Amino acid sequence: MELQERLDEVRARISAAERLSGRPAGSVQLVAVSKTFDAQAIRPAIAAGQRIFGENRVQESQGKWPQLKTETPGIELHLIGPLQSNKAADAVALFDVIETVDREKIARAIAAEMKRQGKTVRLYVQVNSGLEPQKAGIAPADTPAFVGFCRNELGLSIEGLMCIPPAEENPGPHFALLAKIAGECAVERLSMGMSGDYETAVAFGATSVRVGSAIFGAR
């Protein structure tokens, strides 16, 4: 199956999940996760009309996205992997959305860089819904306070929450938990769901799903 066909299938399945959930058509954005794929592999997705992409690493992204963004205006690039504070300047310069704000130090670094660069980047807080010690993210119980800190102490506008459920668990309860916390925090956007569970995420209120291998193939 060619990339265009895989992309069309993912889009169709998102649309079907929207209908099944009684949600308006187009209410869920597709973030095509292009990590580990080079510019040449990404261009067919751009040619097929995809404009929102996700990457895990700042340095890798710097090697391909400045040129791709120049070639095609209107691309929206999301950082969906962990961010180190020493990469905050590069991340703010390149990305349109950072989905992995997960600790006070990185929130402060992002705030300082946005002020220094005169650029506003849209921000999500990453929630460690499964309390996994090896995984980044704010504990669910601590998320409202952290969002409040970002808003009130740093003047950051937090528009969404993001989570990555434990691989071996049913993702539904984790998606439901994220939606509940979003209500408590008064944030409107939920980034949840990947290639194996994005239809479930749509049913639980995802406003964006992060799909990589189902579009680009195995890494």
- Integer CA distances (angstroms), 143 to 24, 43, 158, 198, in order: 28, 37, 12, 23
Give residue-wise pLDDT tens across range 50-74: 999 999 999 999 999 999 999 999 9
Is residue 165 pLDDT above 90, yes or no?
yes
Q: 218 falls in which pLDDT band (50, 70, 90)? A: confident
Buried b / exposed e along 50-76 (16+ C-beta atoms within 10 A): bebbbbbebebbeebbeebbeeeeebe
Which tokens go with 85? 């504070």
Task: Indicate whether 217 pLDDT > 80.
Answer: yes
Q: Are 111 and 154 in contact (CB under 8 A)?
A: yes
Instruction: Output the domain CATH number for residue 77.
Output: 3.20.20.10
Per residue in 13-24, pLDDT (tens digit) is 999 999 999 999
Percent of the chain with pLDDT over 70: 100
- Residue 38's domain comprises 3-216
Domain count, the chain: 1
Residue 203's pLDDT band, with cuts at 50, 70 and 90, is very high
| Average pLDDT of the residues in 117-136 | 97
